[in-house]
Amino acid sequence: MLWMIDTAAAREACGPLERTTLELAHIERAAMFRRHHRPRARSWLQRSDELLRLVEECRVRGLDFVPLRLWIEVARFIGLVDSQLRDDLGTDRGPSNVADVLFMCQGPLLQEARVEQAPHGPAPIIPLFAAS
């Protein structure tokens, strides 16, 4: 239950070890939030992979056209990523056209995911004991 203590109020009333414990608890709470947060580009890449798998399944089954519900979902997704690619998709529901546009859509998403994953400078140094 130590993590529930208000760190601002407790810092003045405790010694250096307790203060460090409270700061570490605060860092752990912040890390728990970040674990559940997925970067936008990575989640969109996962979604594009799912759509691409379904389109490839249509190709393997020998379908001439992607089912309408899947095509609408692909069109909606591509429109969110890039409106120009939405125009490239057009009205052709052939699996090869839809797969090609999804591949083109993944390029910018991969670049964005790489930028999101890159370190943003050195991590802050947390002093073990506050200067007295």
58 within some domain: yes
Q: Which domain holds residue 93?
A: 40-117
Whether the model clears a pTM of 0.85, i.e. scores above it, the answer is: no
72 within some domain: yes
**CA–CA distance, 89 with 101 (Å, rounded to integer):** 6
69 within some domain: yes
80 within some domain: yes
Mean pLDDT by 10 residues, the chain (132 residues): 48 75 83 64 88 92 91 90 82 89 89 78 75 65
66 within some domain: yes
122 within some domain: no
9 within some domain: no
Residue with tokens 């605060």: 26
